[in-house]
């Protein structure tokens, strides 16, 4: 600090010397000195004719420059800046902020004024707020406003709309402070009475300005040329009740004014902000203004206070100035003037201007919604799963992608917002920010079957989007398009949300999220397990591959050991979980596993109870520290579900002549008729051969290999009545009993794990041999022997039925005809008999 002060002192002296040198030289011209000695001294000090080395002062200055390393150009720049510094002073300004920044109609909004470059403390400034409603335009002199406009806008009752009405509208809200005027029985119309002593005397330039009135000098800053002009009149810009002056010397706020300003005549501080009522009208320290926002409202504020610029007058005054939000108050050239005043013995010119600041207020109105548009909705999107996998096969077992949206600044709840989702796919399988690189597939049936694999995409309350990644390979890669690159594609989920912001106005927001997906037909394949000579687990034949149901959920039996693998050539890292817990396989369990890392093979025991479900997951990628590896970013996350079931067996036909008995038929809601077949009663024609077989669930129990060997894992026993007939998987019956006879067929089966598997269960997973016992199953059906022709009857239908019925059931029809004939004969006989016993038959 000291060094800076010293530097500036030297600079000032130097400038003084440079400025003074020619002046002094002229003032003390050598011609004025007659005495040659004096003349010589003069020349030696200031320089002159005959001075070979320049003046003494110049020499001193040069020494000063050298001593203090002062550059001449720098010094000149300082001087040039000082020459124009008067035009670059900081005039008072005010900035207005709003909360909320995008108000809705009817919502409370607060405008806050942030004054700058005032020497008056903020709490002593006068803030005159003014509020203009959409309809309350200034009267243009073309005729009186409509009565409706006057009723809404003319606050002072002068039948015109002026800025005074805008001020009254705002300051009345401030002074009123939510006070309900109807609480006061009546306002006295006597003007002189100030019952609650809430008058206030305002000081020019702010409440803290206690200078005498003679020191009030009001100025306006011309922001175009940077000059300050003294105003010809120096008055407050406060709003006033008709016939009254706000902040006058009388310090009186009579009841008439209380009534006009809607303040409480019995409360000196109606607004409860620490100010007297009249001080609130003057806006003393009122830097905030809160009102109920209506569409089209604009607001402004005039801040009165002392600036930081001193006047040229010979007193302690600072310039009293007014700040406006947009600094838009032109000082026209024709209104500019000046006067000269002797100050300290000098004639000082003071520029003046005649400006009505009230005329500038309209141009300084601020729209709380700058730009007239509400802010955009802010939308955040998230999705799961993190690395979705597309299934390009017909299995349609790809991940279901769920995209969730959150609208953070909506004024309404999600069920009132309108959502419109789009799903786009990268045209070249690459990430891109160019929208032209994306193709909209939302309504493309090749990707999404309508109403099936994608949820609703438009409408209110659609805050999330779900769709299945089951894009066929033919649609992803064909002659016209290639949406994949190295098996990886990108989806762009776009969301547009709109809400009714207020009547006739909506606001919207857009967002998108790009999802990287892997298209892979790789799946976790379950296998039966066998044991090798070393007692280690070996992958056996695959299971659960026969139909889509089994592929989506694999049914297994208790005490199985299930092997799983994932056949991939381009992945190297694997992480297996089993019901959320890590599933570890090492070389002690199987030669397909490793001790240092997981491989694409794993094993787990089925140790639960029927009904339990298992979820097996594997995550794999191609990340490798080896620089020779491509590291293409291939990642896959696969899930396989298992359910433990109670095994069962069923007797089914392996050939012909074993048809389920028809119990009737039923109709669905569309009127389609279906035949209802019995599951336990079958019919076979007489003198036929019936081939039966055992059908197991899960079907891998019935695999042929399970019946082979010395110790087959699956054993069956066919029974006819109580007699055992066969022990093979298949069974043939010669139907030689008479029509109407019944065969009671029984099938008992046992499914048990080989001893080696049971040992592995015990040794690896600690499952006791008492828990890994066999499963027993059985099934019983009845076979009814029928006539051979009846079996074909069901093939006939429609109009042939009557004839077919007659032909195929001739004995039955004959019986019917006989019955009806007998009935006819009987009734004729009875009627005849009754009539014949009549004593007198009447014709």
Partner 1 sequence: MNTKTSLNKKDIISILMMIFCLFMVKLFPEKDYFQKLIVSLTFLLAVPALYIKITLKEDLKDFGWRAGDWKRGITWIFLSLAGAFLILTLLYQYAGLAEKYYVPQNIIQNFGLFVFYEIVIAGFFLALYEFFFRGFIMFSFLKKWKAISIILQFSAFLLFLIITKDFNWGSVNYIIASFFSGVVVYKSRSLLYSYLFSLLFIIISDAVYINSLVN
Smallest gap from Cβ 808 to partner 1, in A, equals 10
CB contact at 8 A, 163 and 129: no
DSSP letter assigned to residue 738:
P
What is the rounded distance in angstroms from the CA atom of residue 218 to the CA atom of residue 258? 30
Nearer to partner 1, 148 or 841 (CB): 841
Residue with tokens 């004096």: 38
Smallest gap from Cβ 841 to partner 1, in A, equals 8
Nearer to partner 1, 337 or 820 (CB): 820
Give CA 115 to chain center in angstroms: 37
What is the rounded distance in angstroms from the CA atom of residue 692 to the CA atom of residue 667? 31
Smallest gap from Cβ 803 to partner 1, in A, equals 8
Nearer to partner 1, 52 or 799 (CB): 799
Nearer to partner 1, 406 or 803 (CB): 803
CB contact at 8 A, 535 and 591: no
Smallest gap from Cβ 801 to partner 1, in A, equals 6
Interacting residues with partner 1 (CB under 8 A): 801-803, 805-806, 812-813, 816-817, 819-820, 823-824, 827-828, 831-832, 834-835, 838, 841-843
β-pairing, 673-685 vs 775-786, is: parallel
Smallest gap from Cβ 836 to partner 1, in A, equals 9
Structure tokens belonging to residue 719: 């029974």
Smallest gap from Cβ 842 to partner 1, in A, equals 5
Structure tokens belonging to residue 278: 């009249």
Smallest gap from Cβ 812 to partner 1, in A, equals 8
Nearer to partner 1, 27 or 803 (CB): 803
Nearer to partner 1, 195 or 832 (CB): 832
Nearer to partner 1, 41 or 663 (CB): 663
Smallest gap from Cβ 824 to partner 1, in A, equals 6
Residue with tokens 């002549």: 657
Smallest gap from Cβ 681 to partner 1, in A, equals 20
C-alpha torsion sign, points 295, 296, 297, 298: positive
Smallest gap from Cβ 821 to partner 1, in A, equals 9
Nearer to partner 1, 577 or 793 (CB): 793
Helices (H), 447-521: 473-476
Structure tokens belonging to residue 368: 């709380």
For residues 748-758, one letter each, b for 16 or more C-beta atoms within 10 angstroms of the residue's C-beta and e for the rest, the string is bbbbbbeeebb
Nearer to partner 1, 41 or 807 (CB): 807
What is the rounded distance in angstroms from the CA atom of residue 193 to the CA atom of residue 294? 36
β-pairing, 219-221 vs 228-231, is: antiparallel
Give CA 41 to chain center in angstroms: 87
Nearer to partner 1, 36 or 798 (CB): 798
Give CA 405 to chain center in angstroms: 4
Residue of 603, 570, 566 lying closest to 584 (CA atoms): 603
What is the rounded distance in angstroms from the CA atom of residue 247 to the CA atom of residue 239? 10
DSSP states along 30-76: GGG--SHHHHHHHHHHH--TT-TT--HHHHHHHHHHHHTT--HHHHH
């Amino acid at each position: 600090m000291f060094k800076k002060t010293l530097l500036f002192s030297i600079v000032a002296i130097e400038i003084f010397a440079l400025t003074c040198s020619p002046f002094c030289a002229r003032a003390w011209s050598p011609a004025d000195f007659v005495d040659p000695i004096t003349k010589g001294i003069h020349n030696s000090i200031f320089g002159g004719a005959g001075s070979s080395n320049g003046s003494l002062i110049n020499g001193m200055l040069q020494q000063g420059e050298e001593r203090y390393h002062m550059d001449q150009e720098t010094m000149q720049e300082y001087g040039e800046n000082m020459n124009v510094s008067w035009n670059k002073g900081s005039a008072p300004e005010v900035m207005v902020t709003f909360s909320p920044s995008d108000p809705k109609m009817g919502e409370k909004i607060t405008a806050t004024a942030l004054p700058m470059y005032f020497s008056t403390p903020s709490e002593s400034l006068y803030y005159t707020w003014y509020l203009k409603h959409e309809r309350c335009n200034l009267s243009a002199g073309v005729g009186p406003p409509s009565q409706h406009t006057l009723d809404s806008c003319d606050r002072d009752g002068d039948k015109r709309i002026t800025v005074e009405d805008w001020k009254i509208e705002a300051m009345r809200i401030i002074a009123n402070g939510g006070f309900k005027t109807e609480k006061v029985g009546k306002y006295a119309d006597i003007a002189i009475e100030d019952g609650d002593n809430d008058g206030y005397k305002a000081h020019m330039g702010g409440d803290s300005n206690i200078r005498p009135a003679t020191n009030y000098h009001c100025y306006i800053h011309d922001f175009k040329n940077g000059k300050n002009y003294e105003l010809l009149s120096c008055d407050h810009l406060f709003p006033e009740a008709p016939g009254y002056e706000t902040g006058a010397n009388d310090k009186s706020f009579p009841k008439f004014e209380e009534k006009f300003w809607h303040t409480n005549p019995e409360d000196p501080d109606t607004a409860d902000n620490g100010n007297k009522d009249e001080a609130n009208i003057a806006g003393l320290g009122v830097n905030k203004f809160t009102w109920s926002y209506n569409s089209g409202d604009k607001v402004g504020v005039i801040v009165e206070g002392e600036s930081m610029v001193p006047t040229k007058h010979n007193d302690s005054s600072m310039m009293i100035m007014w700040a406006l939000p947009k600094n838009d108050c032109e000082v026209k050239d024709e209104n500019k003037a000046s006067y000269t005043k002797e100050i300290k013995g000098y004639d000082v010119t003071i520029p003046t201007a005649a400006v009505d600041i009230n005329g500038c207020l309209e141009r300084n109105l601020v729209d709380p919604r700058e730009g007239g548009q509400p802010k955009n909705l802010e939308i955040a999107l998230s999705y799961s799963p993190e690395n979705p996998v597309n299934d390009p096969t017909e299995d349609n077992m790809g991940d279901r992608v769920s995209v969730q949206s959150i609208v953070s600044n909506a004024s309404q709840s999600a069920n009132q917002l309108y959502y419109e989702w789009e799903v786009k796919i990268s045209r070249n399988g690459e990430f891109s920010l160019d929208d032209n690189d994306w193709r909209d597939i939302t309504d493309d049936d090749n990707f999404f079957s309508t109403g099936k694999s994608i949820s609703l995409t438009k409408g209110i309350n659609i805050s999330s989007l779900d769709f299945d990644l089951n894009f066929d390979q033919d649609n992803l890669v064909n002659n016209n398009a290639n949406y994949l690159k190295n098996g990886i594609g990108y989806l762009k989920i776009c969301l547009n949300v709109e809400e009714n912001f207020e009547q006739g106005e909506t606001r919207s927001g857009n967002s998108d999220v790009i999802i990287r997906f892997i298209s892979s037909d790789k799946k976790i394949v379950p296998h039966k397990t066998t044991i090798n000579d070393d007692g280690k687990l070996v992958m056996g034949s695959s299971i659960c591959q026969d139909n889509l149901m089994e592929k989506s959920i694999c049914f297994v039996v208790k005490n199985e050991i299930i092997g799983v693998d994932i056949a991939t050539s381009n992945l190297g890292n694997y992480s297996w979980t089993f019901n959320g817990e890590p599933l570890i396989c090492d070389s002690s369990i199987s030669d397909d596993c490793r001790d240092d890392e997981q491989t694409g093979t794993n094993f787990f025991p089925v140790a639960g109870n029927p009904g339990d479900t298992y979820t097996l997951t594997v995550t794999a990628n191609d990340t490798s520290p080896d620089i020779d590896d491509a590291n293409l970013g291939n990642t896959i996350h696969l899930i396989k579900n298992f359910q433990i079931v109670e095994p069962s067996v069923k007797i089914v036909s392996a050939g012909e002549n074993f048809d389920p008995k028809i119990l009737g038929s039923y109709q669905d809601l569309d009127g389609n008729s279906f035949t209802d077949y019995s599951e336990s009663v079958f019919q076979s024609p007489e003198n036929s051969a019936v081939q039966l077989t055992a059908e197991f669930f899960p079907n891998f129990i019935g695999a042929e290999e399970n019946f082979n060997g010395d110790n087959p894992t699956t054993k069956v026993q066919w029974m006819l009545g109580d007699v055992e007939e066969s022990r093979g998987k298949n069974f043939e019956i010669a139907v030689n009993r008479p029509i109407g006879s019944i065969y009671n067929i029984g099938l008992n089966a046992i499914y048990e794990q080989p001893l080696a598997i049971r040992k592995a269960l015990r040794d690896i997973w600690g499952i006791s041999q008492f828990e890994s016992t066999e499963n027993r199953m059985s099934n019983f059906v009845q076979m009814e022997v029928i006539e051979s022709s009846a079996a074909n009857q069901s093939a006939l239908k429609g109009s042939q039925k009557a004839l077919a019925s007659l032909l195929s059931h001739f004995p039955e029809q004959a019986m019917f005809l006989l019955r009806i004939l007998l009935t006819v004969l009987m009734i004729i006989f009875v009627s005849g008999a009754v009539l014949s016993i009549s004593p007198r038959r009447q014709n």
